[in-house]
Amino acid sequence: MTDLTSPHGLWLTVLAPDQLEALPTDGLGWLGVDLQHGRYAVADLPGLLRVARVPVLARAASGDPAHLGQVLDTGVSGVIVPSVTSAEGAAALVQAVRFPPEGVRSSGLTRAVMTGGPERPLLLPMVETAGALADVEAIAALPGVDGLFVGPYDLSLSLGRPGVTDAQVVAAIGRVQQACAQAGLLSGVFSGDRDLDPVLPTGLDLLALDTDVTVLRRGLEALLGDAGGR
């Protein structure tokens, strides 16, 4: 995914393809499709991919190898994989996502093959547990990992900290970004909080600003505000 025009991404949780089609994409570098906490199933990906005008990364529901194979078979640009707890867990993801000899992913006449999907989709394990944070340098050193993606909400829970802008959570995000920079990997974060944005490290490659539902909500608030007393 070398064609990123901006680090700014939108996290899709509910939108159908025709609604996505109606959104402006100026300034948007990529889309995240959330199969973990969003409404999507694997079967929703082809429709979204058909209308997307920027690269699509799927946030998988889990690190299950069969699920990851099905997600990748749709032709997404890459997978963001939740709930990694150790370097061993991340190494297992490399096995699931890479074809032999690097891994054990199965090949077939998939949508990715038939429509010219990426030959080597990105693998971005999430750092959102204390275990993954403790192993972050080892995870970044794994061949087959292209980048790390921080989930600040789960990370704050796992670290026992009160929220995503807590100093220890922010420092942890900085550590992940540094590990990525040192290993030459992509670094990504989900924000969803306008107080978090200004304290995030600079130089992030992927910054998911917020979700589609937040966009709708903020749009409605702005509309009602503009209408004022009329």
Contacts with Mg ion by CB under 5 A lie at 128, 151, 154
Instruction: Give min distance, CB of 184 to ligand 3PY, in A.
Output: 24
What six digits make up the tokens of 133? 């944070």
Instruction: Give min distance, CB of 154 to ligand 3PY, in A.
Output: 3
190 is a site residue for ligand 3PY (CB under 6 A): yes
What is the Cα–Cα distance from 11 to 188, expressed in whole angstroms?
Answer: 13
Neighbour count for residue 3 (Cβ, 10 Å):
9
Q: Are 63 and 84 in contact (CB under 8 A)?
A: yes
**Nearest residue (CB) to Mg ion, 14 versus 220:** 14
Q: Which of residues 105-144 bind ligand 3PY (CB under 6 A)?
A: 128
Burial of 208 from C-beta contacts in 10 A (0-12 / 13-18 / 19+): buried
What six digits make up the tokens of 149? 């993606």
Task: Report residue 125: phi and psi, to 5°.
Answer: -65, 145
Partner from Mg ion, ligand 3PY, none binding residue 7, C-beta < 5-8 Å depending on class? none
Instruction: Give min distance, CB of 60 to ligand 3PY, in A.
Output: 11
State the residue number with the nearest CB to Mg ion.
Answer: 151
DSSP state of 69: H
Instruction: Give min distance, CB of 158 to ligand 3PY, in A.
Output: 9
Answer yes or no: 67 catalytic: no
The full DSSP string for 66-118 is HHHHHHHHTT-SEEEE----SHHHHHHHHHHHSPTTT------S-HHHHTT--
Partner from ligand 3PY, Mg ion, none binding residue 44, C-beta < 5-8 Å depending on class? none
Taking alpha carbons only, the member of 78, 73, 69, 83 closest to residue 30 is 78
**Nearest residue (CB) to ligand 3PY, 73 versus 147:** 147
Partner from ligand 3PY, Mg ion, none binding residue 152, C-beta < 5-8 Å depending on class? ligand 3PY
**Nearest residue (CB) to ligand 3PY, 45 versus 112:** 45
> For residue 6, how far is the Cα from the chain centroid?
14
Q: Are 79 and 68 in contact (CB under 8 A)?
A: yes
Write down the catalytic residue from 5, 14, 19, 37.
37
154 is a site residue for ligand 3PY (CB under 6 A): yes
Segment near ligand 3PY (CB under 6 A); pick from 88-96, 115-123, 148-156, 177-185: 148-156
Q: Are 58 and 80 in contact (CB under 8 A)?
A: yes
Residues that bind ligand 3PY (CB under 6 A): 82, 128, 151-154, 190
Question: Would you please indicate which residues are annotated as catalytic (active-site) residues?
Answer: 37
